[in-house]
Amino acid sequence: MVYGGLIPKLVTEGFGWPGKVPFKMVASTGFILAALASGALDTTYGRIVLVGLAFCWIGDLLLEYDRAFLPGLFTFLLGHVAFIAGFAALGPRLSWVAPAVAVAALAAALVAVYLHPHIPRPMRLPVYAYMAVISTMVVLAAGAAGAGRTPALLAGAVLFYVSDLFVARRQFVTHSFKDTLYGNPLYFTAVWLIGLTPGLV
């Protein structure tokens, strides 16, 4: 269902045909259903992840409209806060967290240098706050993976981070459909993996 909605969404958007929003929301509903099928309602961790995915679902809808970019950004930020809480509840290994912080800080610095000249001044604080939160999410996913939890946690978190680079690039730098073409499959793979983790941890 995730990719069954994603493929027609990309086709309709690429050719400028109507229907991309309903197809995208079909794909987004797919990762919610994947989480439910993985037992998200059966554990505290699963319920926290489900809340995060619900925020992602709302954010997916908002980001389809240019005027709603900032609310969409905030909604995804709340989703990452939920993922942070969920990953923290799994007991991340500190010996993995420290190097992950260093890697995440370096990556964030490089991204900031690249994006900074292109981000309108009123948007800089929200964008940098978002970067800090998603970086924290990746760090805690690494810590949870290091503690013996499923590698899908870290894979999903990293793919989410990379997919958001394409969102930022399209929004502030290139305004190109190519960024959507690359970023959307990464994003939906990321949330699908995270949605499966309640049944894997």
C-beta neighbour count of 139 within 10 angstroms:
24
Residue with tokens 């989703």: 79
Measured in degrees and rounded to the nearest 5, phi and psi for residue 175 equal: 55, 40
SS3 81: helix
Residues comprising the chain, all counted: 201
Q: Is the pLDDT of residue 153 over 90?
A: yes
The confidence score (pLDDT) of residue 1 equals: 66
- Alpha carbon separation from 192 to 17, 70, 120 (Å, rounded): 26, 24, 32
Span of 13-17, 73-77, 166-170 with lowest mean pLDDT = 13-17
Domain ranges of the chain: 2-199
- Considering Cα of 31, then 35, then 36, then 40, what sign does the dihedral take? negative
**Cβ-contact 13, 177 below 8 angstroms:** yes
SS3 93: coil
Report the run of H or E that residue 113 belongs to, with start and end.
helix 94-115
**Cβ-contact 70, 126 below 8 angstroms:** yes
Q: What is the pLDDT of residues 100-146, one digit of tens each?
A: 999 999 999 999 999 999 999 999 999 999 999 999 999 999 999 99
Q: Report which of 96, 42, 100, 67 is spatially closest to residue 171, judged by C-alpha positions.
A: 67
What type of residue is 78?
Answer: L
The confidence score (pLDDT) of residue 4 equals: 62
The confidence score (pLDDT) of residue 17 equals: 74
Q: What is the pLDDT of residues 185-194, one digit of tens each?
A: 999 999 999 9
Q: What is the pLDDT of residues 18-72, one digit of tens each?
A: 778 999 999 999 999 999 999 999 999 999 999 999 999 999 999 999 899 999 9
